Amino acid sequence: MKIRTILTLTLLAGLLCVSAARAECDVTVSETTVDYGKLSNSELTSHRGSVYMLDEREVRVNAVCSEPQAMAIFISDDSGQRRFRFGDSGDIVISAQQAVLDGKPVDLGKTLTHGSFVPKQERNRKKLLVLNNDGLLPVRNGEVPVGQQFSVLLRIRPALKPEQQHPQDEEDLLANLTVQVESQ
Protein backbone atom coordinates (compact mmCIF):
# COMPACT_ATOMS: atom_id res chain seq x y z
CA MET A 1 0.00 0.00 0.00
CA LYS A 2 1.25 3.45 -0.85
CA ILE A 3 1.72 6.20 1.70
CA ARG A 4 -0.24 9.35 1.08
CA THR A 5 0.90 12.81 2.01
CA ILE A 6 -2.20 14.17 3.67
CA LEU A 7 -1.86 17.86 4.32
CA THR A 8 0.34 20.81 4.35
CA LEU A 9 -1.77 23.69 5.57
CA THR A 10 -0.18 26.99 4.68
CA LEU A 11 -1.23 30.15 6.47
CA LEU A 12 -0.25 33.21 4.49
CA ALA A 13 -0.03 36.19 6.80
CA GLY A 14 1.42 39.63 6.62
CA LEU A 15 0.59 39.71 2.94
CA LEU A 16 -2.26 42.09 3.18
CA CYS A 17 -3.15 44.91 5.51
CA VAL A 18 -6.09 47.00 4.53
CA SER A 19 -6.22 50.15 6.61
CA ALA A 20 -9.04 52.60 6.12
CA ALA A 21 -7.63 54.74 8.91
CA ARG A 22 -4.34 56.45 9.60
CA ALA A 23 -2.31 53.61 11.13
CA GLU A 24 -0.18 50.92 9.57
CA CYS A 25 -1.02 47.39 10.66
CA ASP A 26 0.74 44.04 10.32
CA VAL A 27 -0.38 40.50 10.98
CA THR A 28 1.77 37.50 11.93
CA VAL A 29 1.05 33.85 12.66
CA SER A 30 2.97 31.58 15.04
CA GLU A 31 3.20 28.82 12.41
CA THR A 32 3.12 29.61 8.70
CA THR A 33 2.94 25.92 7.77
CA VAL A 34 1.02 23.22 9.58
CA ASP A 35 2.22 19.90 8.15
CA TYR A 36 0.38 16.67 8.97
CA GLY A 37 2.98 14.53 7.25
CA LYS A 38 2.06 11.20 5.69
CA LEU A 39 -0.69 8.76 6.50
CA SER A 40 -1.08 5.28 5.12
CA ASN A 41 -4.24 4.19 3.39
CA SER A 42 -4.70 1.58 6.11
CA GLU A 43 -5.11 4.40 8.66
CA LEU A 44 -7.97 5.83 6.64
CA THR A 45 -9.65 2.58 5.63
CA SER A 46 -9.55 1.17 9.18
CA HIS A 47 -11.49 4.23 10.39
CA ARG A 48 -15.18 3.67 11.02
CA GLY A 49 -17.63 6.46 10.35
CA SER A 50 -18.13 9.00 7.61
CA VAL A 51 -15.35 11.43 8.58
CA TYR A 52 -11.69 10.92 9.50
CA MET A 53 -10.53 13.76 11.78
CA LEU A 54 -6.84 14.63 11.96
CA ASP A 55 -5.26 15.92 15.16
CA GLU A 56 -6.09 19.45 16.21
CA ARG A 57 -3.30 22.02 15.84
CA GLU A 58 -3.04 25.52 17.30
CA VAL A 59 -1.85 28.70 15.59
CA ARG A 60 -1.67 32.11 17.29
CA VAL A 61 -2.54 35.12 15.08
CA ASN A 62 -1.29 38.58 16.13
CA ALA A 63 -2.35 41.87 14.56
CA VAL A 64 -0.35 44.96 15.51
CA CYS A 65 -1.13 48.55 14.46
CA SER A 66 1.10 51.60 14.87
CA GLU A 67 -1.77 53.53 16.53
CA PRO A 68 -4.91 52.43 18.41
CA GLN A 69 -7.56 51.26 15.94
CA ALA A 70 -10.72 49.22 15.71
CA MET A 71 -9.53 46.10 13.90
CA ALA A 72 -10.68 42.79 12.50
CA ILE A 73 -8.75 39.69 11.46
CA PHE A 74 -10.18 38.07 8.30
CA ILE A 75 -9.41 34.46 7.39
CA SER A 76 -10.16 33.14 3.91
CA ASP A 77 -9.33 30.61 1.23
CA ASP A 78 -10.07 30.79 -2.49
CA SER A 79 -12.71 28.03 -2.61
CA GLY A 80 -15.69 30.40 -2.74
CA GLN A 81 -17.49 28.20 -0.20
CA ARG A 82 -18.39 28.98 3.42
CA ARG A 83 -16.35 26.05 4.79
CA PHE A 84 -12.59 25.94 4.41
CA ARG A 85 -11.67 23.27 1.87
CA PHE A 86 -9.19 20.46 2.53
CA GLY A 87 -8.20 18.98 -0.81
CA ASP A 88 -11.11 17.95 -3.05
CA SER A 89 -13.16 16.04 -0.49
CA GLY A 90 -12.39 17.39 2.95
CA ASP A 91 -12.98 20.38 5.16
CA ILE A 92 -11.04 22.24 7.82
CA VAL A 93 -12.85 23.16 11.01
CA ILE A 94 -11.38 26.28 12.63
CA SER A 95 -12.36 27.71 15.98
CA ALA A 96 -11.08 30.95 17.49
CA GLN A 97 -10.57 31.59 21.20
CA GLN A 98 -8.34 33.25 23.78
CA ALA A 99 -8.78 36.72 22.28
CA VAL A 100 -6.59 39.43 23.79
CA LEU A 101 -6.58 43.16 23.02
CA ASP A 102 -3.61 45.16 24.33
CA GLY A 103 -2.81 42.47 26.89
CA LYS A 104 -6.35 42.15 28.28
CA PRO A 105 -8.81 39.31 27.52
CA VAL A 106 -11.80 40.25 25.36
CA ASP A 107 -14.82 38.46 23.94
CA LEU A 108 -14.95 37.53 20.26
CA GLY A 109 -17.42 38.72 17.67
CA LYS A 110 -17.68 38.13 13.93
CA THR A 111 -18.36 40.30 10.92
CA LEU A 112 -18.85 39.31 7.31
CA THR A 113 -18.48 42.86 6.07
CA HIS A 114 -15.09 44.31 5.27
CA GLY A 115 -14.86 47.86 6.55
CA SER A 116 -17.87 47.64 8.89
CA PHE A 117 -16.89 46.42 12.32
CA VAL A 118 -20.24 45.69 13.91
CA PRO A 119 -20.43 42.31 15.66
CA LYS A 120 -22.83 40.04 13.76
CA GLN A 121 -24.02 38.16 16.82
CA GLU A 122 -26.13 39.45 19.65
CA ARG A 123 -24.18 37.40 22.17
CA ASN A 124 -20.40 37.56 22.05
CA ARG A 125 -18.35 34.59 23.10
CA LYS A 126 -15.00 33.34 24.28
CA LYS A 127 -14.94 30.74 21.45
CA LEU A 128 -16.33 30.98 17.89
CA LEU A 129 -16.51 28.74 14.83
CA VAL A 130 -14.70 30.50 11.96
CA LEU A 131 -16.01 30.14 8.42
CA ASN A 132 -14.42 31.26 5.16
CA ASN A 133 -14.06 35.06 4.95
CA ASP A 134 -15.25 35.67 8.51
CA GLY A 135 -13.76 38.65 10.29
CA LEU A 136 -12.88 38.17 13.96
CA LEU A 137 -13.45 41.19 16.19
CA PRO A 138 -12.41 41.98 19.74
CA VAL A 139 -15.57 42.83 21.71
CA ARG A 140 -15.99 44.49 25.09
CA ASN A 141 -19.46 45.37 26.44
CA GLY A 142 -21.03 44.73 23.03
CA GLU A 143 -18.73 47.23 21.28
CA VAL A 144 -15.57 46.89 19.19
CA PRO A 145 -12.90 48.67 21.25
CA VAL A 146 -9.81 50.34 19.78
CA GLY A 147 -6.37 48.93 20.46
CA GLN A 148 -2.92 48.42 19.01
CA GLN A 149 -2.48 44.66 19.40
CA PHE A 150 -5.17 42.02 18.85
CA SER A 151 -4.32 38.35 19.30
CA VAL A 152 -6.42 35.23 18.87
CA LEU A 153 -5.72 31.48 19.05
CA LEU A 154 -6.96 29.39 16.10
CA ARG A 155 -7.62 25.69 16.61
CA ILE A 156 -7.39 23.89 13.28
CA ARG A 157 -8.82 20.42 12.66
CA PRO A 158 -8.89 18.91 9.13
CA ALA A 159 -11.41 16.21 8.23
CA LEU A 160 -11.44 13.70 5.35
CA LYS A 161 -14.15 11.48 3.97
CA PRO A 162 -12.34 8.11 3.82
CA GLU A 163 -14.83 6.52 1.41
CA GLN A 164 -13.70 9.00 -1.26
CA GLN A 165 -10.05 7.91 -1.02
CA HIS A 166 -8.71 5.02 -3.11
CA PRO A 167 -5.94 2.61 -2.00
CA GLN A 168 -3.76 3.35 -5.03
CA ASP A 169 -3.91 7.13 -4.55
CA GLU A 170 -0.93 9.11 -3.41
CA GLU A 171 -1.52 12.82 -3.31
CA ASP A 172 -0.78 16.02 -1.48
CA LEU A 173 -3.79 17.72 0.00
CA LEU A 174 -3.19 21.42 0.50
CA ALA A 175 -5.14 24.26 2.00
CA ASN A 176 -3.89 27.82 1.61
CA LEU A 177 -5.49 30.22 4.04
CA THR A 178 -4.97 33.94 3.93
CA VAL A 179 -5.00 35.94 7.15
CA GLN A 180 -5.35 39.72 6.89
CA VAL A 181 -5.98 42.56 9.30
CA GLU A 182 -8.26 45.47 8.53
CA SER A 183 -8.53 48.58 10.67
CA GLN A 184 -10.81 51.59 11.01
pTM: 0.84
Q: Which of 181, 183, 177, 147 minimizes the C-alpha distance to 83?
A: 177
Confidence at residue 17, expressed as pLDDT on a 0 to 100 scale: 41
CA 30 to chain centroid, in Å, comes to: 12
Rounded-to-integer distance, Cα 184 and Cα 177, Å: 23
Confidence at residue 64, expressed as pLDDT on a 0 to 100 scale: 95
Segments in the chain below pLDDT 70: 1-23, 39-49, 121-124, 162-171
Confidence at residue 16, expressed as pLDDT on a 0 to 100 scale: 39
Q: Which of 27, 105, 26 minimizes the C-alpha distance to 66?
A: 26
Confidence at residue 10, expressed as pLDDT on a 0 to 100 scale: 60
Kindly tell me the burial class for residue 48, based on how many C-beta atoms sit within 10 Å of its own C-beta (0-12, 13-18, 19 or more): exposed
Tell me what percent of the residues of the chain surpass a pLDDT of 70.
73
- Strand partners for 108: 125, 138
Confidence at residue 124, expressed as pLDDT on a 0 to 100 scale: 58
